[in-house]
Structure 1
């Protein structure tokens, strides 16, 4: 919104103001500026059907009077005009990037976040519509236009495999949250699994079950996108836990049967932690008898349906909590890029399975 000039502030100040303590409304602005409430509403949404001069005059007056719209009331009125018989519950947007390079196994985790967000949105009286941005979807300017035309002001950005860039979205119109560890363009509130704490807790329980040579394998990209939180927790535990023998992590751009088997034979871990469950077969090729002589622990069970011990990173709760954050911002009229973006974390849940020895 354009910044009001000194003259515009004096002109508005000279008009009749609402009673002390009262909040300026669309109807009050319409009466003050001698236009219809519809014109005021459309000008404040920056719709092009209102003449530029009129739009600027209304926006300057609204800014000078510290007018703040109620997005939920505006959306309800809009929907009621479309269909007075329907029960309006509000709409949120879940936005995904079209990334062909994303591993197929990540799709299950992605779907679980979306399911959790959808269910929680319904409980809070909202619907959730999914949008795809990228080669097989829409471009960000087009997404911006769609969201504004549908009165959608709450945005959940779903996890991206590479650093996401949504800086071209007109964030002054939206409340948003990112359902992964880090977003910088723009810096929004984020929510994700607590990878560091979850790794430490898992290692503590494996240690209690008698494992003394834990080994970790990760693809470099999985490590880097979380600012190496998996690896950092593993190395810290390895250094400070009593009675452990050091096994260097296998972190590489590509981890296949040959590279894994070479690492496993050389360093002889007694329990292996990682994402790729194919490692169980590779371990057996090297003579491991799971769970009798060795253990395997999966770091993300949502990506693999086979019975296995590991971590449930609770993606449904990530989606549900993300929805709560956005709806809370809508109720508080908090739009735009936050001055102090926060990170909310969900601790993963330990799941016993047939790939480690019993307690």
Structure 2
């Protein structure tokens, strides 16, 4: 540190702050210090960083800072709620709140109203509450295009479909999840796998589920391939006609009510036809499909923000990171074993 200070003609304190991108140090000084550090072959000592974090946590200081959770959905007080009865936003918030507590941060829920609050007022609210980091819930940009003073905050977003590409984000690994789902129903012995989804859902998912199903179809005989059903508006009549025409023996349904449509159409699930969901909600424990830990997604969002705070990174990033959280197969009761023994999976997954 002393050598860098001498080479850059600054104090040791300035070197320490400059290497951590502290806003009090001018950009030109930061560049000069970092160039000097590079010339001298300096690299941070990770053990000292871990030790410093341990000392800070051991002292049990008051909360370091506040992180805001911005979204449109109302969230109940969650500490006494079971994850099985939480809504998706509640599970994400609960995971974020737990991680904030573990890391010594506070969390503020900020309920948005696209009609009753200006961007200037929202900036004032966040600054007055001492907010350093902002976690954007998945529907943040669905209400309006918020143009806040992002340069004042470390930001991460839940989801990625409506999020500016300059923000770090955390999302479900839908493609890997769909590949896992396809492996499971293939191993159960289903041969004619149908995929039905709304156009808006397909767009929101950036076509990841559809691409995984299309990839699977390339690996099976053409006569067993069921055309996708992707419509702007899906009706029960259209859905049932598609199932009947293409003789699907299992449906990957993007909408939960498709299960009811099958029952109303006279099918016995799972005896006559299987039904699976690509992304199960907490309350859908009876369905077969992929279950994502949304509390882990919320926690990962906080990790992304705290990392930026520690590096003094704020606002838009020149090189964003997207964290994907894997899902797990939930057996449920809407599928069954179709053959005497399980088949070998199609996709090789960890």
Distance 1:218 1:311 in 2: 16
Instruction: Tell me how many residue pairs correspond in the alignment.
Output: 287
Q: CA RMSD in A?
A: 3.0
Say whether 1:292 aligns with 2:271: yes
> Of 182, 199, 223, which residue of structure 1 is paired with 2:202?
223
Say whether 1:23 aligns with 2:14: yes
8 Å contact 1:212–1:244 — kept in the other structure?
no
8 Å contact 2:114–2:143 — kept in the other structure?
no
Structure 2 counterpart of 1:261: 240
Give how far 1:153 is off: 1.2
8 Å contact 2:67–2:133 — kept in the other structure?
yes
8 Å contact 1:133–1:140 — kept in the other structure?
no
Structure 2 counterpart of 1:38: none
Distance 1:63 1:197 in 2: 41
Alignment partner of 1:355: what SS?
coil
Distance 1:242 1:95 in 2: 48
Say whether 1:131 aligns with 2:110: yes
8 Å contact 1:261–1:286 — kept in the other structure?
yes
Alignment partner of 1:299: what SS?
strand
Tell me: CA distance 1:143–1:315, structure 2 relative to 1, closer, same or farther (3 Å): same
Distance 2:125 2:206 in 1: 34
Alignment partner of 1:329: what SS?
helix
- Greater radius of gyration (CA): 1
Give how far 1:241 is off: 3.8
Say whether 1:146 aligns with 2:146: no
Matches within 5 A, 1:232-247: 232-241=211-220, 245-247=224-226
Say whether 1:314 aligns with 2:305: no
Give how far 1:138 is off: 3.0
> Of 110, 127, 130, which residue of structure 1 is paired with 2:89?
110
Alignment partner of 1:147: what SS?
helix
Gaps of 5+ in 2: 1-7, 18-22, 32-60, 75-85, 343-350
Give how far 1:294 is off: 1.3
Gaps of 5+ in 1: 1-16, 27-43, 45-58, 68-85, 100-106
Alignment partner of 2:275: what SS?
strand
By relative contact order (CA 8 Å, sep 6+), the higher-ranking structure is: 2
Give how far 1:87 is off: 3.5
What are the superposed Cα offsets for residues 129-181 of structure 1, whole Å, 9 maximum, x if unpaired?
Answer: 11123336533321111111222111100001865765511111111111102
Matches within 5 A, 1:1-359: 20-23=11-14, 66=30, 87-97=62-72, 108-135=87-114, 138-160=117-139, 168-185=147-164, 187-241=166-220, 245-302=224-281, 304-305=283-284, 307-358=286-337
Tell me: CA distance 1:121–1:63, structure 2 relative to 1, closer, same or farther (3 Å): same
- TM-score of the superposed pair, with normalisation by structure 1: 0.72
Give how far 1:113 is off: 1.1
8 Å contact 2:153–2:315 — kept in the other structure?
yes
Distance 2:249 2:182 in 1: 12
Bigger Cα displacement from structure 2, 274-283 vs 237-246: 237-246
Give how far 1:256 is off: 2.5
Give how far 1:287 is off: 3.5
Alignment partner of 2:281: what SS?
helix
Distance 1:261 1:133 in 2: 39
Tell me: CA distance 1:273–1:180, structure 2 relative to 1, closer, same or farther (3 Å): same
Bigger Cα displacement from structure 2, 89-98 vs 257-266: 89-98
Alignment partner of 2:125: what SS?
helix
8 Å contact 1:24–1:65 — kept in the other structure?
no
